[in-house]
Amino acid sequence: MTKVHNYSAGPCILPQEVFEKASQAVLNFNDLNLSILEISHRSKDFVEVMEKARALVKELLNVPEGYQVLFLQGGASLGFLKAAYNFLPPREKAAYINTGSWSTKAIKEANRIGEVIEVASSEDKNFNYIPKGYGIPSEAKYLHLTSNNTIFGTQFKQFPISRVPILCDMSSDIFSQEIDVSKFDLIYAGAQKNMGPAGTTLYIVKESALGKAGDNIPTMLDLRTHIKKDSMFNTPPVYPIYVSMLTLEWLKKNGGVPAIAKQNQAKADLLYAEIDRNPLFEGVTAKEDRSNMNATFVLTNESLKEDFDAMWKEANINGLNGHRSVGGYRASMYNALPLESVQVLVDVMKELENKKG
C-alpha cells in the first residue's frame, strides 16, 4: 500500500501493527473461531481485555493507589456533564479556565448544576494562547482545565498550582507526555487520539473525592456506578476498548510514555522550526503555548494556497486542513505519526519556498 502521512486531528493514525491485530480479531479472536464483535462482554476473553486495558493505563501513567480507571462512552462531551455531576454540589461554585471550544462547552454543562467562575480566558485572541497569572478562588470546589486545545493548537506546558482539586479533559494529549496523576482528582479523555479509535472514553478518578456532590446523580453519569461494576454496568464498547488495549500495548513495548514524549518533542521541534524559518509560513499561537500534538499555521501569502495544497496532497499527506474556526493548516502529530511523516511535510514546505519564495 502507498504510505499515507495521516495528520488527521482525531480519529487519527494508530500503529500499523495495531490495525493488523485489530483486523484479525474481527475474523477470529483469540483462536475462539468467533469474531471479537460477536462475543459476550462478560466472556472470560473480553473481561481479560478490559482488565488488561485498565492495567496498562495504570502502568503507563503511574496511576497511584486510590485511583480508579474506567472505560466508558460518550466522549469528552458527555465528560463535561459527568465532571460537573460528580464533583459540583448543586448551587456551589467551580472554577474553569477557558482555552477554547471544548472548555466553553464544559462551562456550559457545569452551569446547569452549579455556578461557574471563569477565572481566565483566551477568547480575546481567538484562543491562541494559554492564560497565565490568574487567581483561583478558594470557594471553588475544583478547577477545570482542557490540557490541549486540538482546534487552536495550544497546550498547557505546566499545570497551574492549585489548592482546589484539578479536573482535566486530556482528550488530545493523554499518553503523549509524562503527567503526575496525583495532581488531579479527575482526568478524562476521548480515546480517538493517542489511545485508540473513536467510541470509548477514559476516566481516571480519585475514588475518595467522589460522593460529595449530592445524591441525585443519574445512574449512568455517576462514576461510582461504573467503579462498582468494573466498567461493565452496561454493555461496554467492546471493539474500541480492544483496539485501545492494543495501542497501549504498542506504547508499552516501545518504551512507554517517556520514550514517546521524546519522539513527540522531536516531531514538534522539527515542524515548528520550519514554520519559524520558512518565510512563507507563520504559526498561529503564542510560541510558549504551542501544542506538541496540533501545530496550527498559515501561509503568509494566501495566493500560494492552491500550490501548497496540491503539493502536500501529491506527497500523500492527509488531513492537513485547519479547523473552520481557525483556518489555515493544522498538523496533528499524535503518538503513532512517525517522525518521517513530519519530515515529508517539512520537505514540502521547503519545496514551496524553493519554487515560489
Active site residues: 102, 169, 193
Q: At closest approach, how far in Å is the CB of 132 from a copy of itself?
A: 29
SS3 category, 149: strand
Nearer to a copy of itself, 1 or 161 (CB): 1
Interaction between residue 116 and a copy of itself (CB under 8 A): no
Interaction between residue 322 and a copy of itself (CB under 8 A): no
Q: Could you identify the residue written with the cell 482488565?
A: 51
The span from the CA of 89 to the CA of 115, in Å, is 10
Interaction between residue 48 and a copy of itself (CB under 8 A): no
DSSP 160: P
Nearer to a copy of itself, 40 or 182 (CB): 40
Q: Which stretch binds a copy of itself (CB under 8 A): 106-114, 263-271, 300-308, 344-352?
A: 106-114
How many residues lie near a copy of itself (CB under 8 A)?
A: 63
Q: Which of 53, 68, 109, 291 binds a copy of itself (CB under 8 A)?
A: 109
DSSP 64: P
Instruction: Give which of 331, 340, 334 is closest to 13, Cα–Cα.
Output: 334
8 A C-beta contact, residue 46 and residue 238: yes
Residue 68 CB burial class (10 angstroms; 0-12, 13-18, ≥19)? buried
Nearer to a copy of itself, 104 or 278 (CB): 104
The span from the CA of 71 to the CA of 182, in Å, is 19
8 A C-beta contact, residue 281 and residue 353: no
Q: Which of 62, 182, 219, 325 binds a copy of itself (CB under 8 A)?
A: 219
CA distances (Å), origin 200, targets 7, 122, 124, 190, 193: 21, 29, 33, 6, 11
Q: At closest approach, how far in Å is the CB of 181 from a copy of itself?
A: 24
Q: 232-260 burial, b for 16+ CB within 10 Å, e for fewer?
A: ebeebbbbbbbbbbbbbbbbeeeebbeeb
Q: At closest approach, how far in Å is the CB of 80 from a copy of itself?
A: 8
Nearer to a copy of itself, 67 or 244 (CB): 244
Contacts of 109 (CB under 8 A, 6+ apart): 80, 81, 83, 84
Tell me the residue ranges of DSSP E strands in 85-217.
93-98, 115-121, 143-146, 148-149, 154-155, 166-169, 184-190, 201-206
Q: Which of 52, 58, 93, 105 binds a copy of itself (CB under 8 A)?
A: 105
Q: Which stretch binds a copy of itself (CB under 8 A): 73-81, 126-134, 258-266, 343-351?
A: 73-81
Interaction between residue 77 and a copy of itself (CB under 8 A): yes
Interaction between residue 313 and a copy of itself (CB under 8 A): no
Nearer to a copy of itself, 23 or 303 (CB): 23
Q: 13-32 mask for a copy of itself (x: CB under 8 A)?
A: xx----xx-xxx-xxx---x
Interface with a copy of itself by CB under 8 A: which residues? 1-4, 6, 8-14, 19-20, 22-24, 26-28, 32-35, 37-41, 73-78, 80-81, 105, 108-109, 112, 190, 192, 197-200, 216, 218-221, 233-240, 243, 318-319
